[in-house]
A and B are shown apart, each in its own frame.
Chain A
């Protein structure tokens, strides 16, 4: 984009012009992108890295799985070797069950943060 177009974009986004120029030039923000939320498998972590994240943050995905130590090790390996399908396949073996998904419709009313519109 031309400088005047970048200036217009910066105005529309309400973002600093220098930062918009930098992102246009480098294709990314000048800070690491941490991916978090809902990551439950080594493949999830690898996908985040393939999409451009610099780091992956996993909490429940490990601690609510069947075998947390094994899954933690596997997710670390998958984050490092995110572009190596052989390693991804190997570390994914024998991990037990992943964190179960939760359907919002089945949650108790008491577990909901707000109940407007119900």
Chain B
């Protein structure tokens, strides 16, 4: 398992946002990563992380780079995607406050800026539904909320009874920023999805 992980290359969408923090999280796990800014950067990666940032800006840059369609194709080929905060907004089926286009790769409705403005950002401890230790540190930065969860979406973590992390097929999303903590369990959960993906698709 360890050997496989160290050979894996994970892409981090680097158009805008906190891609460097995700790369540091992957570094801590000994996993190689690559910044993805154009189509050719998608070649040879086992999974893609869509980081936090500003989702409207990210959408514009996804359009101009041609990456919007390419990421949908990448997902269709069976590769896992992981979106945090703005990354979740990009992956959602539906986006509110305001309504905006999205990739629609996970059946959730997401409300932007749902806790309020930047000064309403906070750090807390939530509950994980996966692994042995339910206590999971969470950093919410001008965070969105998942306001509707489709039937085939699995809730994976909660804060104050609300789902803040979820998965469906090969898509993992979180409203908080696991890359801003030293806890690597959420990233490990994603890496396990890439292992399973390569097994079933090969």
Contacts and interface: CB of A to CB of B under 8 A. Distances in A.
Interface of A: 54, 76-77, 80-81, 84, 87
B37 A81 contact: yes
B158 interface: no
B70 interface: no
B16 interface: yes
16 contacts: A54-B20, A76-B57, A76-B60, A76-B61, A77-B61, A77-B64, A80-B14, A80-B15, A80-B16, A80-B37, A80-B61, A81-B37, A81-B38, A84-B37, A84-B38, A87-B38
Nearest to A87: B38
Contacts of A84: 37-38
Nearest to A80: B15
Nearest to A79: B16
A87 B20 CA distance: 21
A76 B16 CA distance: 9
Contacts of A87: 38
A95 B151 CA distance: 49
A87 B14 CA distance: 15
Interface in B24-47: 37-38
Contacts of B37: 80-81, 84
Of A76, A80, A81, A87, the most chain B CB neighbours within 10 A belong to: A80
Contacts of B38: 81, 84, 87
Given A54-B20, A77-B64, A87-B38, 10 more contacts: A76-B60, A76-B61, A77-B61, A80-B14, A80-B15, A80-B37, A80-B61, A81-B38, A84-B37, A84-B38
Nearest to A81: B37
Contacts of B60: 76
A80 B64 CA distance: 11
